[in-house]
Structure 1
Amino acid sequence: MSDDLNKKGSQDRSRININEDHEVTYWTKKFGVTKKQLEDAVKKAGSTSADAVEKVLKQ
């Protein structure tokens, strides 16, 4: 995801940046989880890959 919110180009939806509020909002809504659950899943996955985090959340 681009950090410049004014840019409307394609964004990197393959990585999760838990340090950016707008990304946390996007991913928590997409996965239907809380911020804490998202952070825990990123830690457990050992990666910021959206696919890896999604797999953890589906377990």
Structure 2
Amino acid sequence: MSQFTVSGTFEARDGQQAFERSVEAENESVAEEHVLSQFGAEHNLKRTQIEISEVTAA
């Protein structure tokens, strides 16, 4: 598995909040899904409230 850095924004109470997360995944698509799942669980957000702008291999 490879290390990926996923960055983007999500809807917070104060407006858009930027984030950058490192995850271990098989490919970029799996890394995106993992981050969407984590933010949904941690911040009670729907996938439509999270915008991923970049996924890079670290």
Shared fold per TM-score greater than 0.5 = no
TM-score for both structures, normalised by structure 2: 0.35
- Specify which structure has the bigger relative contact order, considering alpha-carbon pairs within 8 angstroms and separated by 6 or more residues: 2
Structure 1 or 2: more helix by fraction = 1
Structure 1 or 2: more strand by fraction = 2
TM-score for both structures, normalised by structure 1: 0.35
